[in-house]
Amino acid sequence: MANDDPPNVDPIFFYGPEPSPTGCAMAITGGAFYNPTPLQFPSEYEGDYFFADYCHDWIRKLDASTREVSDFASGIDKPIDLEVSEEGELYYLSRGSTGLVGKISYAR
């Protein structure tokens, strides 16, 4: 049987183990592309990828055009999922000590 899989390609972004105080190395647990209509965040966020790390309690943003990664939010206790609402807000699900659904809106 022929192998119809496309050739492997290098990842767009990679970050290595960054041990946290709890000993957890890294765990990307949620991600979402920002493509709502209408946009709530500035237009330069359109198409960007947001991803959360469970071990380090942050959300970062991968710019779809430049492939640069930047900090977006920190202090989120054990994020496990991200979603973009129809209104353009970024929601996260946290599994920390209280467990909650949080919303990040853009203040104009």
Q: Sketch out the chain's domains with CATH numbers.
A: 28-104 (2.40.10)
Strands 79-84 and 28-33: unpaired
How would you label 75-103 residue by residue, b for 16+ Cβ within 10 Å and e otherwise? ebebbbebebeeebebebbbeeeeeeeee
Give CA angle at 40 (37, 29), nearest 5°: 90
Task: Give CA separation, 19 vs 13, 27, 28, 75, in Å.
Answer: 19, 11, 14, 16
CA distance 39 to 58: 23
d(Cα 51, Cα 30) in Å, to the nearest integer?
6
Predicted local confidence at residue 1, as pLDDT: 41
Percent of the chain with pLDDT over 70: 85
Residues of the chain with pLDDT under 50: 1-2
**Predicted pLDDT at 97:** 78
Confirm if 70 and 88 have CB atoms less than 8 A apart.
no
The predicted model scores a pTM of 0.81
